[in-house]
Chains A and B, each alone.
Chain A
């Protein structure tokens, strides 16, 4: 398709005003967050919008040396990674089975998984608490893993079954005729073909799990087991009046995901709206 650079139309002016205003409303708070994290507190109050007269990394320094921020960060990195791998593995194998198994039972099972997309797992918190306690995983980072895996499954199964269904039958048949068993087909044919869908599922879970506060809040107490967001709530309370430090905390907690988003914005938008938008 030929792309013609559109010319400015006066009728679009109100539209530009609205979009411009919103750009301002979105970017100013983020600007305030990042810029002021490099200023001493006094300068923040004097001029919260300008560039720092002298760049000070004091806030970041005290994060690294004077708090458990790095522990929180690494904890989140670990539990998020492990959970995403778990979700991808469980959801893709299940989706492969659900699509291949042509029976009424498999269609019902798919519905069972999909029902989870409408029901927030938080509603089950009361019983999850005692379940995690019975497993001896209370106050441990690992207690989050099975919950996060279960949380990611409905959407993962949904996206991946749709995708696997669209894999041309001829490819699978050809592999069969060549004598490949279902495990080999899964590893060598299915997984490479559904990579884009796996990325969608991974990003959806990355954002959701990295940003989750609820389950760490109700399951974890000890400082060395805290996730980043739980740590952020703690540091926010601790540093409340020390804006320079607080903003350093908020900036370093969110910038990794924002940067990733700026590089992969298409995939992010797809991942976070998957389930509502059909391809």
Chain B
């Protein structure tokens, strides 16, 4: 052995350290993913998808008719679900992070801990808990509203088709707001203090510091958060499943890609009750492509124009 290559060797022996993990990863993640994409061109009964039908599954999803109404509806709802998270969860998260980064605010460890608690709950638990709280008859929320004289505001929160998905999105934002908060906070604390000192010397107002210094410098991390929100929400299922069930009530207004995929590909739909796994595979393929496209676009948008940050 030569002294130079002591720590890192161009030696195939190292491959053996990687093989076990690689095998598990390829067999249970990469290969099933690839296969799920392939199976979207097939149909069959049960687990046996052996009948090649080309793009027929996709045609059913896009070319009008009952199936396509459901699919496109679920797609639109998923987009809405994502937008609420961007506007509520991430804006709130940014606000919390800016506050927690202020040197003058007291009780930061407490607020930080509180803001993050819901992120440690199971999504199902969050969903069920809020379902009880929002219950129109005995739910604590409507009781509070009644007691502070806003009884008229008490609504059947999950029973109105124009409201239900919005309410569910808010519950989900309640749960996850701690994640963007902590990511933004770490990024703000990473900004060089010189910028702020220079701004102070130049007599910049706090709003100028925010819009001209902090936000532009946070642009790449805003991109990271947007991507995380995007992949998380296009893949959402649990919270809607817990609060509204898998059938998207009322009137499919809470049906998102996750629940639609579950119904068609896994559980089987009313009235047949037999899963159509080929169709399900087509839904996952589209989800995959949308995720891929979204991630690429957002990465391009959030790239720093030029210059470095630190």
Main secondary structure of the interface of A (DSSP, over half): helix
CB proximity of B94 to chain A, nearest CB, Å: 12
A126 near B36 with CB under 8 A, answer: yes
Q: Does B195 contact A (CB under 8 A)?
A: no
B20's partner among A8, A12, A90, A211 (CB-CB below 8 A) is: A90
Selected contact of A272 from candidates B11, B111, B119, B288, CB within 8 Å: B119
**A residues near B123, Cβ cutoff 8 Å:** 211, 213
Q: Is the CB of A214 within 8 A of B237?
A: yes
Check if A130 is an interface residue, CB within 8 A of chain B: yes
* Partner pick for B122 among A8, A147, A176, A229, CB 8 A cutoff: A229
Whether A153 contacts B24 by the Cβ 8 Å rule is yes
Contact with B along A107-127 (1 / 0, CB 8 A): 001001100101111111111
Taking the closest CB of chain B, its distance from the CB of A190, in whole angstroms, is: 11
- Residues in A with CB closer than 8 Å to B6 are 172-173, 176-177
Once the chains bind, are A116 and B102 in contact (CB under 8 Å)?
Answer: no
Contact with A along B89-132 (1 / 0, CB 8 A): 00010011001001111110001111111111111110011101
**Chain A: minimal CB distance from B104 (Å):** 5
Report the Cα distance A277→B265, complex, angstroms: 35
* Interface segment out of the listed B27-35, B77-85, B153-161: B27-35
Whether the Cβ atoms of A6 and B17 lie closer than 8 Å is no
Q: Which residues of A contact B114 (CB under 8 A)?
A: 22-23, 26-27
Instruction: Determine which of B36, B118, B228 lies in contact with A127 in the assembled complex, contact meaning CB atoms within 8 Å.
Output: B36
Closest Cβ of chain B: how far from A206's Cβ, in Å? 10
CB distance from A133 to the nearest CB of B (A): 6
Chain A interface residue count: which class?
35 or more
Nearest-neighbour CB distance to chain A for B230, whole angstroms, equals 10
Q: Which of B102, B117, B140, B288 contacts A48 (CB 8 A)?
A: B140
A6 near B21 (CB under 8 angstroms)?
A: no
Q: Which residues of A contact B120 (CB under 8 A)?
A: 207, 257-258, 261, 268, 272
Binding stretch for chain B, among A29-37, A57-65, A66-74, A191-199: A29-37
Q: How far is the CA of A101 from the CA of B221 in the complex (A)?
A: 31
List 10 A-B pairs, minimum CB-CB distance, nearest first: A97-B17, A101-B14, A94-B21, A211-B122, A102-B8, A150-B28, A124-B32, A127-B32, A127-B35, A90-B21
